[in-house]
Amino acid sequence: MEHRINDLQIESQAHESLDFPVCINQMSSITYQCPNDKTEELNVENPKKRPYNCPYSGSKCNVTGDIQWLLLHLRNDHHVEMHDGRSFSHRYVHHNPKHLHHATWMLTLLDCFGRQFCLYFAAFHMRKTPMYIAFVQFMGDEQEAMRFSYTLEVSGNGRKLAWQGVPRSLRESHKTVRDSQDGLIITRKLALIISTDNNNSKELKLKISGRVWREQ
Ligand SMILES: [Zn+2]
């Protein structure tokens, strides 16, 4: 029997296209057979052309390649959703937030300014304290990443918590970014207060909206 590693869900809706269908993803522990990587086709001498690691967060994946290759791989092999537009709004549902045994991740891709970004949401423990973190990573090198900024905002029940950040390059792993706490961090206690569904205390619903822009 396949064991589900978590019960985290995402319900997403793009801000800029109101008729965009609400989609629901669910992360599972499926082990992907990833195709052979394209490392040998890339020039390892040129740091700009150094291959990137697959940014997928749900299972260990050793695929490497350039950004265009990884975008195809994320869509075809990991079935990651891509959202067009610089504004976004997602609702994350954690079905059983009181029983968080392993770190769990959700990944959505954002496409704007002709570039792509990874939006991560994770439930994890920081020194035994259950937490949530959301952040954006740029699918490209460090130098170009610094030309962008983003905001994230979580709100509900009259509370609002906002974060403004600079996306870190995909050269760093999502776990490195999480461990450096470079994102919107919400403790589980606060998350339960902000949760938009107080009627069902077992379930946590967090609405996180955000925007990416390019610095002049
Ligand atoms: Zn992968």
CA of 57 to the centre of ligand 1 (A): 8
Q: Is residue 130 part of a domain?
A: yes
In-domain check, residue 1? no
Model confidence band, residue 106 (pLDDT cutoffs 50, 70, 90):
very high
State the distance from the centre of ligand 1 to the C-alpha of 73, rounded, in angstroms.
Answer: 6
What pLDDT, in 10s, does the model give residues 143-166? 999 999 999 999 999 999 999 999
Q: Is 175 left (phi over 0), alpha (psi -120 to 50) or beta?
A: alpha
The C-alpha atoms of residue 12 and residue 83 are separated, in whole angstroms, by 9
Number of domains in the chain: 1
Distance from C-alpha of 149 to C-alpha of 136, rounded to nearest angstrom: 9
- Confidence category of residue 209, pLDDT binned at 50, 70, 90: very high
Q: Is residue 77 part of a domain?
A: yes
Q: DSSP for 168-212, please give it.
A: EETTS-HHHHHHTT-SEEEEHHHHHHH-S--SSTT-EEEEEEEEE
CA 199 to centroid of ligand 1, rounded, Å: 38
Tokens representing 55 are: 């940014």
Q: Please give the mean pLDDT across all residues of the chain.
A: 82
Residue-level pLDDT at 56: 94
Confidence band of 200 (pLDDT split at 50, 70, 90): low
In the three-class reduction of DSSP (H, G, I as helix; E, B as strand; rest coil), residue 48 is classed as: helix
**Taking ligand 1, which is a single-atom ion, which protein residues have CB atoms under 5 Å away?**
54, 56, 61, 63
How far, in Å, from the CA of 109 to the mean position of ligand 1?
13
The answer to whether 184 and 152 have CB atoms below 8 angstroms apart is yes
Check which CATH number belongs to the domain holding 75 and give it.
Answer: 2.60.210.10
Q: How far is the CA of 70 from the centre of ligand 1 (A)?
A: 8
Distances (CA, A) of 21 to 16, 91, 125: 12, 14, 33
Residue 36 lies in a domain: yes
Domain span at residue 115 reads: 8-214
